[in-house]
Amino acid sequence: MANPIISRAELAVSTTPMTVKGVIRKTSFLLGLTTLSGVGFFGYCLASGVTSGFVSVAALASILVAFVLSMVIISKPHIAKTLAIPYAILEGIVIGAISLFASIKFPTVAPTALVATFVTAAVMLALYRSGVIKVSQKFRSVMMSAVIAIMLVYLVQIGFSLFGSSLPYLFSGGVVGIGFSLLVIVIASLSLLLDFDSVERAYAAGVDESYEWVLSVGILSTLVWMYIEFVRLLRSLQN
């Protein structure tokens, strides 16, 4: 996601610099951990027959704790390695819960969203490497503004959900809701370009190798965000 987790990594220079391969390895590790956590939570909920209320509370609590961890990672990058693992596990619980709710009516939504996420990520990486889309300062500013606006919408929606309600139209299965999901997916996809660019900028600046974890957490957060939005879009389309 286009967030301070990535930007912060550009600030510290070290005599033991990070490597791009290191970021790739750590991102792969965190993605695997998130996947295992999600599958585990999904399977546990199915096997134990827990209530939807339990799943919702677990997901919301995981979101809140993961947010706190991300803020600590931003402010204390030297402990990012320690916090990245619980962060990935919590993200797994979130996607496990969302996948569970989606699979109740539409069993194919979760695997389709997963494939769509990784295909989109591969396409965006190809576009970035080929130079088709350039990450300029103006591009960064526009994207950051768009991401902040969407995050504010999410916060309002969370507030509504606490009272058993929802924002009109945007989070429904109607045309407006589908359009909003498509817009968010586009923004999330473009945010990956910022993540890729930040990795290259951090490498060029010679930042400390501990920032490999910071950068990996940033990429993970974008991919999870994209997956969640693909699930929402596919559910809306099938409705």
For the stretch 126-165, pLDDT in tens is 999 888 888 888 998 899 899 999 888 888 887 777 776 6
Q: How confident is the model at residue 17 (pLDDT cuts 50, 70, 90)?
A: confident
Q: How confident is the model at residue 115 (pLDDT cuts 50, 70, 90)?
A: very high
Q: What tokens appear for 121 in the block? A: 């990520």
Residue 77's pLDDT is what? 84
3-state SS string for the chain: CCCHHHHHCCCCECCCECCHHHHHHHHHHHHHHHHHHHHHHHHHHHHHCCCHHHHHHHHHHHHHHHHHHHHHHHHCHHHHHHHHHHHHHHHHHHHHHHHHHHHHHCCCHHHHHHHHHHHHHHHHHHHHHHCCCCCCHHHHHHHHHHHHHHHHHHHHHHHHHCCCCCCCCCCCCCHHHHHHHHHHHHHHHHHHHHHHHHHHHHHHHCEECCHHHHHHHHHHHHHHHHHHHHHHHHHHHHC
Least confident of 6-15, 113-122, 141-150, 193-202: 6-15
Into how many domains does the chain fold? 1
Taking the C-alpha atoms of residue 201 and residue 223, their distance in angstroms, rounded to an integer, is 20
State mean pLDDT over 36-50.
92
Least confident of 4-8, 26-30, 124-128, 197-201: 4-8
Q: Which domain holds residue 211?
A: 4-238
Residue 176's pLDDT is what? 81
Q: What pLDDT, in 10s, does the model give residues 209-232?
A: 889 999 999 999 999 999 999 999
Q: What pLDDT, in 10s, does the model give residues 52-106?
A: 889 989 999 999 999 999 999 988 888 999 999 999 999 999 999 999 999 888 8
Q: Is the Cβ–Cβ distance between 235 and 106 less than 8 Å?
A: yes
Distance from CA of residue 180 to its chain's centroid?
Answer: 17
pLDDT at 172 over 90: no
Residue 236's pLDDT is what? 86
| Percent of the chain with pLDDT strictly greater than 90 | 55
Q: Which residue has the higher pLDDT, 204 or 170?
A: 204
| Residue 195 burial class via C-beta count within 10 angstroms: exposed 0-12, middle 13-18, buried 19 and up | buried
Number of other CB atoms surrounding residue 21 within 10 Å: 10
Q: What is the mean pLDDT of the chain?
A: 88
